[in-house]
Amino acid sequence: MRQKIYDNHRTIGATRRMWCFLFILTGLLTGMANRSYGARQPSPTSFDCKVQPYYKYRKDGKPGREITLKFNGGKLYGPATITVDCNSVKEETKVNETTGVSELSVLLPANAGLDNDCQARISVITPENELYRSVIVPQKRQWTVYIYPHSHVDIGYTNTQQFVKNLHNKDIEVGIELAKKTQNYPEGSRFIWNPEALWVTDNYLKQATPEKKKEFIEAVKKGWICLDGDYDNSNTSACSDEELLNLFHKSHEIQQLTGVPISTMVQFDVPGASWGITQAAFQNGIHTFIEFSNLGTVRKPWENHPFYWVAPDGKTKILFIQAFPYGYGYTVKGSKIGIGRVQGQIPGIDRISTKDPTADFLDPLIFDETAKLEEAGSPYDIFVMPWALADNSYIDTDLPDAVRLWNEKYAYPKLIIAGAKRIAHDFESRYGSIFPEIKGDYSEYWTDGLGSDAKRVGLNRVATENIVQSETAWAMLNHNQPAPRELVNESWRYALLGAEHTWGYSNPAAPMAKGIEQTKASYFENAYKTSNELLKKTFAAVEDPGSNKIAIFNTLSWNRSGLITLSKEQSKAGDRVVDEKGKTVMSQRLSTGELVFWASDIPALGTKTYAIKAGAAKKGRGCRLNGNTISNGIFSVTVDPKSGDISSLTDLKTGHEFVDSKSQYGMNSYLYLLGKDSSDKTQPAYDIVLKIKEKGPLVTTIAVQSKAPGCNWLTREVRVVLNQPWVDLTNSFDKIGTRTKEGIHFSFPFDIANGTTRMDIPWGTMIPEYDQLPGGNRNWLTYLHWVDISNSNAGVTWTSIEAPLIEMGSITANLPGGAHGAANWYKTLPKSQTLFSWALNNHWNTNFPLEQGGLINLHYAIMPHQAYDATAAQHFGLEENRPLLAVPVKEKPATNSWVKIGNPKVLISILKQSDNGKGMVLRLRSMSDKPEKVDLSWTDGKPHKLYSCLADEKPIAEINGDQTILPNGTISYYFEP
């Protein structure tokens, strides 16, 4: 019993102790609960909803829109049930927030809010409270963002040209290494590298070891390296027809090496592009053009508005995509890392990586930009943007991980690292059926920089014409001998590097700038030098420097006449000139010691010979001189002795006066602008002296000598030639170098009532405003061979050999804001019959030389006429730019004219030996706005096979009958004799 009682007491004690422990524990837990669940903390009284601009992956793997709930009045503690009711789908989620939260996120049912706005009804039920909220979820598309990784190719902008070349070579090797490392990453985050310009690829392959070259080719085949077809980022509107075709020449060579087709081109930095790029790209198998323009320039109306860009022929077209401007990567990341590091200024670094790849990345940019597009009603769910840490920068090796982590976090926007071919394919396959077709010139902006080195720009323009003439003359003379193809290609390479948009160092005042500018200058000088070497090689087999017999070569496709100028040495035999039939032709010994004579009816793609003999020049009625007025029987020109300007240009047959006497500007008037002075503050030439330089009868010239602001001296020569239907002007000045902002213009106000302006551009003709795309430059324009202003009765065709920049109506080059002052630029171009040759400037504070000095010669010509004739305008422009070539020979050279064009509205752009040396290439250009029959006839019989081809010169289809050329179109043929 005692034992039993003892056990009972022990049990009771244990029970009491247990209850005591439980009581204490309960008290502790209750206290904790009171603290945790809000006995002393307020519960939420409401919540706000923020609809996020992205989708995340739901548990079922589908994308759901995220909404962030932000609680008001207190944190959410403990268990809660969150219910989302949207699009007739109700989903419930239970949470238990033991530590309390101020906000949490929920995902809507799959694809809710994708096609239209929707309502989301959200409830939060807790033991203490029931909270409800309804929110409208605005429509949000599921965007795909294509990222084009690159390093902007600015050849010399950030360092010497050689340093830049080495940096881009290293980028290729790092790019291949990174692509290999990430090849097993999820789709979209696998790295690919875009060298951007084939200048980079060309340089890399030239210095690569056989092993490295093989590795590169394999990388291209695997898609790790994606190639685009243009050689560099060029001012395309400053290129000639054939030069623009040669922008893609290197792509054919590299395609053959890799076996991978190249069908895209990209253009960085330069806003706009010549309309002629459509034809040039298509001829080279390029079907998509993606432009990543400079961040600070005009972005509308074409950004994220792709279209099929239709060529002047009305049929040929390429896809044009203006993507997000380049430079964002530098703004958000590269600038924080440091420009020296990303541009290779620190030894031992050849790539960029950070501890957190997601830092300084694409949010909020992607959310903001896609929201703008949706608000604007864009029909596309694709956004394209480039990624580089700076101009000429090392690769951001964080990119693949940044993209991978982004895509793990977000379902949409989905990021894809891609090249231009993938971007174009995906864009076109999804939306090609709704892309509009657009015609017109996207007139470039950066071309004002052409005026920063007027002398060398002139050399480049002459060089590109020399190359075409030498190729055509080689075909006429040496068709059985291989053409000097390496020298031809080298000449084009130098010309393209001249047209490339980089001219100098980022800081032109820095010590490094001078060397970079000298290297750039060498491109122009070498283009000119090698083009003249080509001409010399072409005529080497027939030239006899000591001969008094002169062969005149016509490299154009129509019979022509023209003034021939021989040096004193070439004409030492005498002043008398006789033709092949022994007939004496009119000649004249000039005050310079040169001898000139008129060569008549030189056959198309043919020659005539003349002999220089002892005796006096043939005399006859020729040009007339009457005080300060000269005439050649076709028109008269009067020079104002007070200003030195042309005060009258009169058609002697119709009596039409072509000088607008009411204009505030004179004809061929020198206009100097300082700083930001407006056009009404131009400073003219002064201390005018008129001299008769040549008195005829074949040539009569008035020389206007003067002083001029910004120059040591200025001379303007006005020349007329007997039988020549245009007046020649030569404006020469000795420029004083200065870093004060300045500009030199020559004005040409024409009296042609309601005249329409037309311009020759690469592979087309453009009417300013009418043929210009919205957003294109209207403040200054660049033309190729001629500008015409005409009404139905009268007009003039005008050209400048060396200076390609013009302004219409008024001088607008000194607008405040300079290159980035978009708000001040013309939105529309007023119709005017006054044009200005913008000869030179130093307006830029970066990239271009701060000053230029020395002797500069500019040649102009004005051809009065009646109604506009496109063929006559093109004949005039080409004859001025591709003059008759005079070569001393022992005997008349045997030539092959090959082919004649029976339709005068169809011209030969070039006749050349094919690159493979086995055949010939004939390229035609139409000057008609209607379809035209080509009307080919072969002087030595039709080739045994004639094929159509493109610029790659590969035969496509055999041609058996005559072809029709499209309006303003082009056709290329390949044939073997």
Residue range 221-257, pLDDT digits in tens:
999 999 999 999 999 999 999 999 999 999 999 999 9
When pLDDT is averaged across residues 845-850 and rounded to a whole number, the result is: 94
Residue 821 has a pLDDT of: 67
How many whole angstroms from its chain centre is CA 771?
18
**What confidence category does residue 300 fall into, taking pLDDT thresholds of 50, 70 and 90?**
confident
C-alpha triplet 116, 119, 120: angle, nearest 5°? 125
pLDDT in tens, 263-293: 999 999 999 999 999 999 999 999 999 999 9
Contact 850, 817 (CB under 8 A): no
pLDDT-based confidence at 33, cuts 50/70/90? Answer: very low
Q: Are 555 and 895 in contact (CB under 8 A)?
A: no
Residue 492 has pLDDT above 80, yes or no: yes
Q: How confident is residue 28, by pLDDT bands cut at 50, 70 and 90?
A: very low
pLDDT confidence bin for 749, thresholds 50/70/90: very high
Instruction: Give me 958's structure tokens.
Output: 């055999």
pLDDT of amino acid 2 = 31
Residue 25, pLDDT > 50, answer no
pLDDT confidence of residue 820: 61
pLDDT at 816: 52
* Residue 478 pLDDT: 83
- 681 three-state secondary structure: helix
Tell me the residue type at 428.
E
Reply yes or no on whether the pLDDT at 8 is more than 70: no
Coil, strand, or helix at residue 835?
A: strand
Ranking 7-16, 78-87, 478-487 by mean pLDDT, the lowest is 7-16
Residues paired with residue 587 on neighbouring β-strands, in sequence order = 597
The arithmetic mean of pLDDT across residues 754-761, rounded, is: 97
What pLDDT is attached to residue 30?
Answer: 40
Cα–Cα dist 901/624, whole Å? 37
> Tokens 């239709």 — which residue?
310
Q: What is the dihedral of CA 146, 151, 155, 157, to 10 degrees?
A: 110
Predicted structure pTM score:
0.93
Q: How far apart are the C-alpha atoms of 604 and 907, rounded to whole Å?
A: 11
User: What is the pLDDT of the chain when averaged over all its residues?
Assistant: 93
Query: Phi then psi for 355, rounded to 5 degrees?
Result: -70, -30
More confident site: 824 or 408? 408
Q: Return the pLDDT at 26.
A: 41
Q: Is the pLDDT of residue 628 over 50?
A: yes
Q: Quick one: average pLDDT of 663-671?
A: 97
* Strand stretches in 392-530, DSSP E: 414-417, 437-439
Q: What is the mean pLDDT of residues 412-430?
A: 98
Angle between helices 210-222 and 198-207 (to 10 degrees): 140
- Of all residues in the chain, the percent with pLDDT exceeding 90 is 88
Residue 35 neighbours by CB under 8 Å, 6+ apart? 41
The pLDDT assigned to 678 comes to: 67
Mean pLDDT in residue range 719-737: 97
Lowest mean per-residue pLDDT among 118-132, 303-317, 775-789, 930-944: 930-944
User: Rounded to an integer, what distance in angstroms lies between the CA atom of residue 851 and that of residue 815?
Assistant: 19
Rounded mean pLDDT, 928-936: 96
If phi over 0 gives left and psi between -120 and 50 gives alpha, with beta otherwise, what is residue 769? left
What pLDDT band is residue 943 in, cutting at 50, 70 and 90?
Answer: confident
Give the confidence band of 23 by pLDDT, cuts at 50, 70, 90.
Answer: very low
SS3 171: helix
Please say if the pLDDT value at position 472 is more than 90: yes
pLDDT of residue 41: 73
Does residue 216 have a pLDDT over 90?
Answer: yes
3-state secondary structure 318-381: EEEEECCCECHHHHHHHHHHCHHHHCCCCCCCCCECCCCCCCCCCCCHHHHHHHHHHHCCCCCC
Question: 881 Cβ partners below 8 Å, 6+ apart?
Answer: 461, 465, 785, 799, 801
* Per-residue pLDDT tens digits for 768-822: 999 999 999 999 999 999 999 999 999 999 999 999 999 999 998 766 555 566 6
Give every CB contact of residue 185 below 8 A, 6+ residues apart in sequence: 191, 400, 404
Partners of 84 in beta bridges: 91, 122
Q: Grade residue 153 by pLDDT with cuts at 50, 70 and 90.
A: very high
Residue 819 is predicted with a pLDDT of: 54
Give the separation between CA 868 and CA 563, rounded to whole angstroms: 25
What mean pLDDT is predicted for residues 123-130? 94
Whether the per-residue pLDDT at 967 is higher than 90: the answer is yes
> What percent of the chain lies above the pLDDT cut of 70?
94
Q: Are 188 and 406 in contact (CB under 8 A)?
A: no
Is the pLDDT assigned to residue 588 strictly greater than 70?
yes
Question: What is the structure's pLDDT at 301?
Answer: 84
Instruction: Look at residue 12 and tell me whether its pLDDT is greater than 60.
Output: no
The whole-number pLDDT of residue 35 equals: 43
Residue range 650-676: average pLDDT? Answer: 94
Residue 21, pLDDT > 90, answer no
